[in-house]
Amino acid sequence: MALDLFSPVSLGSIALKNRMVMAPLTRNRAGEGGVPQAINAAYYEQRATAGLIITEATPISTMAHGYPALPGIYTDAQVAGWLKVTDAVHAKGGKIILQLWHVGRISHPSLLPNGALPVAPSAIKPEGKAFTYKGLVDYVEPRALEVSELSGIVADFVHATKYSLAAGFDGVEIHAANGYLLDQFLRDGSNKRTDNYGGSFENRARLLLEVTKAVVAVAGSDKVGIRISPVNPFNDMHDSNPQALFNYVVDELNQFNLAYLHAVEGGIHGGGIADPFDFDALRKHFKGAYVANLGYDKVRGNAAIASGHADAIAFGVPFIANPDLVQRYKADAALNEADSKTFYGGSEKGYTDYPFLNA
């Protein structure tokens, strides 16, 4: 029987009832102190029919924040808030993992402790504007991290992984995509270092591999995924040779026997035109399960799974507007249209009030 979106699959030790993954989606609706609230539990619970939910990107420390009203995963209160989310999803038979995030230079002093400068591999100010509590403001030039500080970044990922497991998550996803800190180290448009963390592919991948090794040691390789975006120009990102770089990165990641690799197959968020890239070739480099993301619908998703290109498909905006997306795809039913004005911040409107098919 041909495999499709509705076939079961295992990503590492995480057994999924279908191959429809809810992509990580920043929604800016956490409570005071980065603590998830009842509304967040309701939102994720509504979408528990997904084979797997990947949470919104979640800062691993106070210095990892880059946007207002984000949930965190570094305090006991945050763990208690997330427990309500994981309990709600598990009660509906769902699986949920947390995406571990450090934004690096994509932040602003007003969002960081004591007005600190954002940190980055190199002191290069990104084009664009930061989304702050007072609106959009220009990014600032970040501070280049000292080599001596990088072990502290790894330790923050470890701490957040321990807290994720304490919060009841089925695993974690390391966010190395979309122009945030680990991606900033990978791509040479943002990494101009001349030490062991810059220059060669080996050096630029070093921090990601150190983080991965440390997170796997805590959670187990079968509960850890990684997200990459080789050619997404969002957040002023580019690389001089993305295909060779990311083929190398994937080859190195194979040593960890990860649960999956999650690839953003192009450019998202209107960041510009993505460079050409052969994602079929990248997929062939990776020895584990592959989750494809970007512009997939039911037809394209089924085709990617049937051809062996992907083991699962991550859907973003369709899951925002259709909590019962799995049921709608099964029934070939019409989809609700997403209201982009309510994507980032607000309350129930555009968050938990989208109608179900059988409401």
Could you tell me if 3 and 305 are in contact, meaning their C-beta atoms sit under 8 angstroms apart?
A: yes
For 347-356, write each residue's pLDDT tens digit. Answer: 999 999 999 9
For the segment 39-47, the average pLDDT, to the nearest whole number, is 98
pLDDT score at 251: 98
Going from the C-alpha of 158 to that of each of 151, 174, 343, the distances in angstroms are 11, 11, 30
Residues 73-97 pLDDT 10s: 999 999 999 999 999 999 999 999 9
Q: Which residue do the tokens 């440390």 mark? A: 214
What's the CATH class of domain 9-342?
alpha beta
Q: How far apart are CA 268 and CA 238, in angstroms?
A: 13
pLDDT at position 234: 95
pLDDT given at position 84: 98
Q: How far is CA 51 from CA 123, 267, 273, 302, 329, in A?
A: 41, 25, 31, 15, 13
Compute and round to an integer the Cα radius of gyration of the chain: 19
What string of DSSP letters covers 78-123? HHHHHHHHHHHHHHTT--EEEEEE--TTS--GGGSGGGPPPEESS-
Give pLDDT, residue 194.
98
* Catalytic residue selected from 43, 180, 197, 248: 180
| Structure confidence at residue 24 (pLDDT) | 98
Q: What is the pLDDT of residue 124?
A: 98
For the residues of 253-277, what is the DSSP string, one character each? HGGG--SEEEEE-S--TT--PPPP-
The mean per-residue pLDDT over the stretch 221-241 comes to 97
Q: Helix H segments across the chain?
A: 38-46, 76-91, 147-166, 181-186, 201-204, 206-219, 242-253, 279-285, 298-307, 317-321, 325-331
Which pTM value belongs to this model? 0.98
Vertex 313: Cα angle to 213 and 34 (nearest 5) = 60
Average pLDDT over residues 98-108: 98
Write out pLDDT tens, residues 45-58: 999 999 999 999 99
**Average pLDDT, rounded, for the chain:** 97
Give the pLDDT of residue 290.
98
C-alpha span between 317 and 354 (Å, rounded) = 12
Distance from C-alpha of 333 to C-alpha of 331, rounded to nearest angstrom: 5
Percent of the chain with pLDDT over 90: 96
pLDDT at 269 over 80: no
Q: Is 180 a catalytic residue?
A: yes
Residue 358: band (very low, low, confident or very high) from pLDDT cuts 50, 70, 90: confident
Across 246-262, average pLDDT: 98
pLDDT at 359: 61
Looking at residue 295, what is its pLDDT?
93
Segment 193-224, tens digit of pLDDT: 999 999 999 999 999 999 999 999 999 999 99
Helices vs strands, H then E, count in the chain: 11, 14
User: Does the pLDDT value for residue 268 go beyond 90?
Assistant: no
Please give the structure tokens belonging to residue 325: 């997306």
CB 225 within 8 A of CB 262: yes
